[in-house]
Structure 1
């Protein structure tokens, strides 16, 4: 690719960052804020919590930013350092200055972030597209990883469903709040339109023109090549893909992966308090166990 991502206009950029600040206000105050220089621009990273245990690195869903983890950060940060990333090449405080060539290039860029923050035993946690990014890292640049956790990852072992492709395209074309509310209610299972993090994601879709190699399902051999410990949690009611197919294919191709399906959860896997508590418990247990296994 030759183009780089940027905002569509100064006015849309200003509206976007108004929404950004409101969404970040839902998060705890970060202990540190970094703008990390990489080969493709600067990546915004927020650190929460502290301690000498291996760090957790949160990768957001498409156009979602670090703010999408506002409900999980307090529980994770109570146990150690947590680094929440705004994905370079998408809307957020990261600033792209050079184009990406391919999917491996995106992994090299995140590896730059981990290297420059001196994160050598990182536990990646990604939801939706962030889960895909975490696994892409395990394929192309795993050296600094201790584990990968994916929360209903998209286009990993199953493609986007036809309804979500049709619905999202129609919603983007019509681009009115009524349609977006219907789309979010359908995809999440309840009305989340008024939440600051949902408003921020919508503002990013409207304001930012992303120019990145888009995610695609890795090949069977690429999936089999992963040696990093993997935890994958799927929502049984997810509408963005077939979660049963996704879980079964990952289980067949990567027998060492720890895979769980949450019976009542949709694609927004940590939307409901009971599911959120289950995710926190499973992720903390998994990251602690994998860190101990490496010592």
Structure 2
């Protein structure tokens, strides 16, 4: 498998400039940005919050980076160390140098990253594709993760037939004039379209060639091996999967699981209902440190 990369230097330079503008516009307060070497490439992370305590590690969804969590940083970092990650292979400030050929490689990448950051036990929050990585990491490297919060995570159930249509329509809506986007966001069920700065960054990433493995559904045996506590937040109207079927599957297979189906929310759960996601993360972390 080939690696994710920009199609040429001009596309990369355009994206890097847009990324730095977005960081300046969106990141609240102080941060320490680090480029961490791993066997799969250099990973950009942004650290903030208290120096001590169990960190919250934030993994973005497919096509995103640490900035997707910008509105969550301040409330999370008020009491907890926060590490927001640009996943290797996604458009961001990380640079991939070796292929990621499946969930085992993605898990090994995250393990290398957390070890290099000297994080012995983290609370990992994964959205969509980031949740899929977090699941594989917890199974392959038990003990590093103190708990998982999964935000409409991939890999938990069969992919809905409408998911790719949702993706395509959402992508087209981001190209529409700004005044039309609220109406289009409602029509296609994707509130992330209203994140103006992030949508500008997404448009700048059109010259990026993403070459990461598909988020295949985990088998019953794999989910049964999850040993850390898991809190799964699912959008009631998710186009990724059937949330009620996923809830039933998790309750049947995962020993330490909590599930919340968020009413009137879809796969763009972090922007559909930020309060539900924030409260879910904080309540899960509180359970781990109490």
What TM-score do you get using the length of structure 2 for normalisation?
A: 0.89
Task: Indicate if the aligned counterparts of 1:30 and 1:46 stay in contact, CA closer than 8 A.
Answer: no
Task: Indicate if the aligned counterparts of 2:170 and 2:190 stay in contact, CA closer than 8 A.
Answer: no
| Matching residue within 266, 284, 287 for 2:285 | 287
Task: Indicate if the aligned counterparts of 2:19 and 2:92 stay in contact, CA closer than 8 A.
Answer: yes
Q: 1:286 to 1:209 in 2, by over 3 A?
A: same
Shift of 1:100: 2.2
Matched, 1:265 2:270: no
Q: Aligned to 2:162, what secondary structure does the other structure show?
A: helix
- For residue 13 of structure 1, what is the aligned residue in structure 2? 12
Matched, 1:55 2:55: yes
- For residue 116 of structure 1, what is the aligned residue in structure 2? 116
Task: Indicate if the aligned counterparts of 1:187 and 1:239 stay in contact, CA closer than 8 A.
Answer: no
Q: Aligned to 1:203, what secondary structure does the other structure show?
A: helix
Q: 1:190 to 1:97 in 2, by over 3 A?
A: closer
Task: Indicate if the aligned counterparts of 1:187 and 1:266 stay in contact, CA closer than 8 A.
Answer: no
- For residue 37 of structure 1, what is the aligned residue in structure 2? 37
- For residue 177 of structure 1, what is the aligned residue in structure 2? 175
Q: Aligned to 1:192, what secondary structure does the other structure show?
A: helix
- For residue 223 of structure 1, what is the aligned residue in structure 2? 223
- C-alpha separation in 1, matches of 2:163 and 2:45: 30
Task: Indicate if the aligned counterparts of 1:60 and 1:86 stay in contact, CA closer than 8 A.
Answer: yes
Q: Aligned to 2:149, what secondary structure does the other structure show?
A: strand
Provide structure 2 residue ranges, at least 5 long, that are not aligned to the other structure: none
Shift of 1:6: 0.6
Task: Indicate if the aligned counterparts of 1:152 and 1:234 stay in contact, CA closer than 8 A.
Answer: yes
Shift of 1:200: 2.1
Q: CA RMSD in A?
A: 2.5
- C-alpha separation in 1, matches of 2:97 and 2:41: 5
Matches within 5 A, 1:228-239: 228-239=228-239
Q: 1:264 to 1:208 in 2, by over 3 A?
A: same
Shift of 1:269: 1.4
- C-alpha separation in 2, matches of 1:184 and 1:4: 32
Deviations 1:242-261 (A, max 9, x none): 22222222222114201111
Deviations 1:261-285 (A, max 9, x none): 111222121324xx32232223212
Deviations 1:162-187 (A, max 9, x none): 12224545887x89824996986555
Provide structure 1 residue ranges, at least 5 long, that are not aligned to the other structure: none
- For residue 22 of structure 1, what is the aligned residue in structure 2? 21
- C-alpha separation in 2, matches of 1:184 and 1:113: 35
What TM-score do you get using the length of structure 1 for normalisation?
A: 0.88
Deviations 1:37-61 (A, max 9, x none): 1011110000011142100000001
Task: Indicate if the aligned counterparts of 1:146 and 1:229 stay in contact, CA closer than 8 A.
Answer: yes
Task: Indicate if the aligned counterparts of 1:185 and 1:191 stay in contact, CA closer than 8 A.
Answer: no
- C-alpha separation in 2, matches of 1:67 and 1:191: 12
- C-alpha separation in 2, matches of 1:119 and 1:190: 33
- C-alpha separation in 2, matches of 1:178 and 1:277: 28
Deviations 1:82-137 (A, max 9, x none): 00000001111101112223320111111111001100110000112112221121
